[in-house]
Chains A and B, each alone.
Chain A
Amino acid sequence: MTDIELRDEGRVPEPAAAAAAPALLPGELRPHPTPVQYVVIALILVVLTSAEVSLYYLEGTIPNSAIIPLLLVFGALKFGLVAAWYMHLRTDKKIFARFFVLGIVAAVVLYLIVLSSLEVFS
């Protein structure tokens, strides 16, 4: 494996991260975002939430078949932004993201099977 592949696996720190080691917390590969970046993410979250609420009030004006996918996309974007930036999955070791994805996928698969067995989708 090359150094870059190992770095992507989270097994060796990046050179920049190693140089900035005194500021790193355990499990971090790169420094956390700056406070300004955190505020920018918060503003994006506010805009997405406003868009979601606006869509809710458009019910009846545009079909539900358009509203529901858009609401799901906006919700997924908000979820991803908080997980990546505020929970630091962008900058931490990949093992944490794998745990999180494992939990989400296990929950979705398990309950899709349960709901299917109860003929919810038929």
Chain B
Amino acid sequence: MATIQEAPPRPPPEPPTAHGGEPAHPPTSTGTTNVKLAIWLFIASDCLFFGAFISAYLLYRGRPQTGPKPQQVYSIPFTSVSSFVLLMSSLTMVLALAAIQRGDLRRLRIWLMATALLGSVFVGGQIYEFTNFAHKGLSLDTNLFGSTFFVLTGFHGAHVTVGIIWLLSLWGLATQGRLTQKDAEKVEIAGLYWHFVDVVWIVIFTLVYLIPPAK
């Protein structure tokens, strides 16, 4: 006697998909991916990291000391152009993200490379600035201004350099066809890091370069 087997129950419907089958909102208690949460936690902790160096700079700013003073070495026109370049790199970064979300991989590669190049111009400008300061007699151990300035801006430059390596890695993956529309979050994570580096520079440019010292 033949038995009638019941069909197995259907699995529940999948949540809406972001790109190519990945769940749009992963089943975590926060409703987002752990990697995105992690980059925001890193950014929060990096606020304290840069806060320490900015505070140290402000602490020793304007105190009597030997050696060159900020107003004797700064070139505001040069640094303004550097700041402009870094701001524009944030624009190219969001354009790269918009491109991968649309599935436009050609423009993704263009904007990723443009962002990396603009970042390289910024770091190149910083190296030129540091060399120029050294020729004017300011180095890491000249005085407290030199120590706090070089540590603060040097760590920022190191962050930008890490960002450039990250962007070039993404560009390499995109060139090999290993970065597609469903990997948009990878570009977004790199973008969050890049924009954070940009906002830190906005603070440094205002507090360190532009605000005149107390008389």
Residue ranges of A at the interface with B (Cβ–Cβ < 8 Å): 10-11, 13, 18, 21-27, 32-35, 38-39, 41-42, 45-46, 49, 52-53, 55-57, 59, 64, 67-68, 71-72, 74-75, 78-79, 82-83, 85-88, 93, 95-96, 99-100, 102-104, 106-108, 110-111, 114-115, 118, 120
Most A CB contacts (10 A, CB to CB) among B43, B50, B93 go to B43
Contacting B93 at CB < 8 Å: which of A59, A83, A86?
A86
Asked if B195 and A49 make an inter-chain contact with CB atoms under 8 angstroms apart, the answer reads no
Question: Distance (Å) between the CB of A88 and the closest chain B CB?
Answer: 8
- Nearest CB in chain A to that of B84: its residue: A49
A-B contact pairs, 15 of them (CB 8 A): A10-B31, A25-B185, A25-B188, A27-B32, A32-B94, A35-B95, A38-B98, A42-B91, A55-B210, A64-B212, A71-B210, A72-B206, A82-B202, A86-B94, A107-B48
Question: Distance (Å) between the CB of A70 and the closest chain B CB?
Answer: 10
Q: Which of B11-19, B117-125, B146-154, B167-175 contacts A (4 or more CB under 8 A)?
A: B11-19
Chain A CB within 8 A of B203 CB: yes
Asked if A49 and B80 make an inter-chain contact with CB atoms under 8 angstroms apart, the answer reads yes
Asked if B41 and A99 make an inter-chain contact with CB atoms under 8 angstroms apart, the answer reads yes
Contacting A49 at CB < 8 Å: which of B59, B87, B91?
B87
**A106–B51 Cα gap in the complex (Å)?**
9
Contacting A104 at CB < 8 Å: which of B31, B32, B47, B202?
B47
User: Known contacts A49-B80, A87-B195: does B48 contact A59 (CB below 8 Å)?
Assistant: no
| Secondary structure call for the A interface | helix
Question: How many B residues face the partner with a CB closer than 8 A?
Answer: 62
On chain A, the residues within 8 Å of B52 by CB distance are 111
On chain B, the residues within 8 Å of A102 by CB distance are 44
Known: A41-B91, A85-B94, A103-B48. 6 other contacts (CB 8 A): A21-B24, A42-B87, A42-B91, A56-B210, A83-B199, A87-B191
Asked if A35 and B98 make an inter-chain contact with CB atoms under 8 angstroms apart, the answer reads yes
On chain B, the residues within 8 Å of A85 by CB distance are 94
Chain A CB within 8 A of B40 CB: yes
On chain A, the residues within 8 Å of B36 by CB distance are 26-27, 96
Asked if B212 and A87 make an inter-chain contact with CB atoms under 8 angstroms apart, the answer reads no
- Nearest CB in chain A to that of B51: its residue: A107
User: Known contacts A27-B31, A52-B210: does B84 contact A32 (CB below 8 Å)?
Assistant: no
Contacting B206 at CB < 8 Å: which of A52, A95, A96, A108?
A52
Residues 171-207 of chain B, each 1 if its beta carbon lies under 8 Å from chain A, else 0: 0000000000000110010011001101100110111
On chain A, the residues within 8 Å of B44 by CB distance are 99-100, 102-103, 106
